[in-house]
Amino acid sequence: MNYYLLFKSLHLIAVISWMAGLLYLPRIFVYHAETFKGTEKDETFKLMEKRLFFYIMNPAMILSWLFGILLIHATGIEIVTYLWLQLKLTMVLLLTAYHFFLFYCLKNFNQNNSKHSPKFYRIINEVPTLLLIGIIFAVVFKPL
């Protein structure tokens, strides 16, 4: 069995799932920030956000990292010296930091203590898209 192709396939599936969550959760935050606290709609958003984050995004992030590390291992650890992989890993670290920032926002919503406007969430919703573009270009073009 070709473990490289297996790990690559599973890595791509996990990344797609993680990205879906990273793109969708801030969009839910936009609508949640426009909702009055304590209403039924507010509680529905809290439940949606919690389920998305803990049941989809966290497992997808963990699996993305796991299969990415297994890919590095299957390819050979010396691949870490390549600039394109260093760029990719830097952007993945930024995506991971963004993931945990969204968790911080989720906790604030759950405590009825959201600090940001709907416009803020609309703007930060572009962060994962920009990082994804950078990651794709780094992997496809493999700059020296």
Average pLDDT over residues 13-25: 98
* Paired tokens of 5: 């192709």
Query: Rounded mean pLDDT of the chain?
Result: 97
> Can you give the pTM of this predicted structure?
0.95
- Closest residue by Cα to residue 4 from 72, 104, 95: 72
Task: Tell me which of 8 and 144 has the higher pLDDT.
Answer: 8
Give the up-direction half-sphere exposure of residue 92: CA atoms within 13 A in the CB hemisphere: 20
**Contact predicate 19/133, CB 8 Å:** no
**pLDDT digits 0-9 by tens, 97-122:** 999 999 999 999 999 999 899 999 99
* Residue 144 binned pLDDT confidence (cut-offs 50, 70, 90): confident
Residue type, position 56, single letter:
I
How many Å apart are CA 38 and CA 36, to the nearest integer?
7
**pLDDT digits 0-9 by tens, 3-18:** 999 999 999 999 999 9
Q: Where are the domains of the chain?
A: 3-141
Average pLDDT over residues 136-143: 95
Q: CA triplet 127, 50, 27: central angle to 5 degrees?
A: 35
How many Å apart are CA 33 and CA 42, to the nearest integer?
9
Residue 1 in this model has a pLDDT that exceeds 90: no
**pLDDT digits 0-9 by tens, 124-133:** 999 999 999 9
Average pLDDT over residues 76-85: 96
What b/e string do you get for 93-105 counting C-beta neighbours within 10 Å, with b at 16 or more?
ebbeebbeebbeb
How many Å apart are CA 81 and CA 141, to the nearest integer?
16
Percent of the chain with pLDDT over 90: 97
How many Å apart are CA 99 and CA 96, to the nearest integer?
5
